[in-house]
Structure 1
């Protein structure tokens, strides 16, 4: 699929915003997937293309945790492989549904994830690094994989909530496991989209460049004072895109 130079610039800008938002608030896919759709990329292909940026962003995050010497390999691999199995099923569902139905589902998910984003600062940080209740975490992460393989948007909030409610694991450990889980399940998910011809490579690479840039900016600048404004902008943007997707897709 051909992508114009103007579209590439817009995609890089959207990816930069998403990468920044992912660091300071979360929910960057709420920006990137609708942007791809509005630029003329079919909804299911936009869903698949977004996985390139997700894969690269989480690969970099895994590397950062390794460099810091803080990485729970056992938990990351165990739950990541479990989620990867679920992602195969979720991705196969995603490539089979119509673009119109996907747009409407995405619209609803955007609203729900936006609510989680706005309430994110009210989440309590769990107490320690011990992972408890493996017997419940494993099947839950299989379901997380199905969701992530299907639509991806907001999966980080679901993972954080799962660890907080089930295991009581602290936020640093949770984030370390989260990036490994998302990285691992995105691999089979992306393969399914590629096999079905649902990836626009040029757009995906541009998106990955933007995500990396935005993530770097978010990690290197103090954003505490700007957090409220970011959430205002995110709210307005997501609501406008959700309405557009639901009623005019």
Structure 2
């Protein structure tokens, strides 16, 4: 695809929005993937190219969360390693899954998550003692990594649930942990996609410039506003995303 000035401007602007959303809640890839395909990019290439922006925006948000004192890389590293192992498997998976059924299933799952965000605020806003055995927590994050390596879009919602509901994080510290986990596993999947010749580097780098700016803004916003703001924003993003996925599944 040939890049025109309007393409560059659109990629930069959407990168900012996607970076902010991915850092605060999730769902940024649900905006960037349709834009890349609308610009004429093959879906497989778009799915791979999008990882450049994800990788760099997560590097920016990880640095910001750590500088704000809400992220311990040492504590979250085991979860990142588990997700990275799953990501490698997800990147290798042949795209054989019925996308209609997948959209419907994910839409229902994240709709349940939205209900929990509104009805169970303490689940998301307070740090908790982890009651799951470590192997089960690692297995969960490996499974989330498989999905992230496969398609990425919407994975932030599942990471937010896993970090808040299972791993004991509140939403602000969980957003920092999520950024670092995605940074690690995206590095793995990006290498594999690049080796397969699926990455459009110029487009990915342009998208990432806006994404990094949006990620820094999102991280600062999350720390400044706190858990309650993040919970309601996340619930809103999830509701819109779930509705889109269910409609896509039913109408196509």
TM-score interval, smaller chain: 0.7 to 0.9
Deviates more, 1:213-222 or 1:69-78: 213-222
Q: CA deviation at 1:110?
A: 7.5
Q: CA deviation at 1:182?
A: 0.8
Other structure's SS at 2:41 match: coil
Aligned mates of 1:57, 1:120 — CA distance in 2: 28
Other structure's SS at 1:40 match: coil
Aligned mates of 2:140, 2:130 — CA distance in 1: 14
Other structure's SS at 1:161 match: helix
Aligned mates of 2:218, 2:84 — CA distance in 1: 28
Other structure's SS at 1:69 match: coil
Identify if the C-alpha distance between structure 1 residues 102 and 19 changes in structure 2 by more than 3 Å, giving closer, same or farther: farther
How do 1:24-173 and structure 2 match up within 5 A?
24-93=24-93, 96-97=94-95, 108=104, 111=107, 115=111, 119=115, 121-122=117-118, 123=121, 124-128=123-127, 130-132=129-131, 133-173=133-173
Deviates more, 1:31-40 or 1:110-119: 110-119
Note if contact 1:49-1:199 (Cα within 8 Å) is conserved in structure 2: yes
2:174 alignment partner in structure 1: 174
Identify unmatched segments of 5+ residues in structure 2. Answer: none
Q: CA deviation at 1:164?
A: 3.1
Aligned mates of 2:198, 2:2 — CA distance in 1: 14
Aligned mates of 2:139, 2:216 — CA distance in 1: 34
Q: CA deviation at 1:209?
A: 1.3
Aligned mates of 2:85, 2:244 — CA distance in 1: 32
Q: Deviations over 1:37-59 (max 9, x none)?
A: 11111001111111111111111
Q: CA deviation at 1:231?
A: 4.9
Identify if the C-alpha distance between structure 1 residues 243 and 73 changes in structure 2 by more than 3 Å, giving closer, same or farther: closer
Give the RMSD, CA atoms, in angstroms: 3.5
Aligned mates of 1:72, 1:84 — CA distance in 2: 18
Other structure's SS at 1:48 match: helix
Identify if the C-alpha distance between structure 1 residues 164 and 56 changes in structure 2 by more than 3 Å, giving closer, same or farther: same
Identify if the C-alpha distance between structure 1 residues 117 and 51 changes in structure 2 by more than 3 Å, giving closer, same or farther: farther
Q: Deviations over 1:149-174 (max 9, x none)?
A: 00111212111212333243322332
Equivalent residue pairs, number: 239
Q: Deviations over 1:136-160 (max 9, x none)?
A: 1011111111011001112121112
Q: TM-score, normalised by structure 1?
A: 0.78
Q: CA deviation at 1:16?
A: 2.0
Identify unmatched segments of 5+ residues in structure 1. Answer: none
Aligned mates of 1:18, 1:109 — CA distance in 2: 23
Q: TM-score, normalised by structure 2?
A: 0.77
Identify if the C-alpha distance between structure 1 residues 190 and 19 changes in structure 2 by more than 3 Å, giving closer, same or farther: same
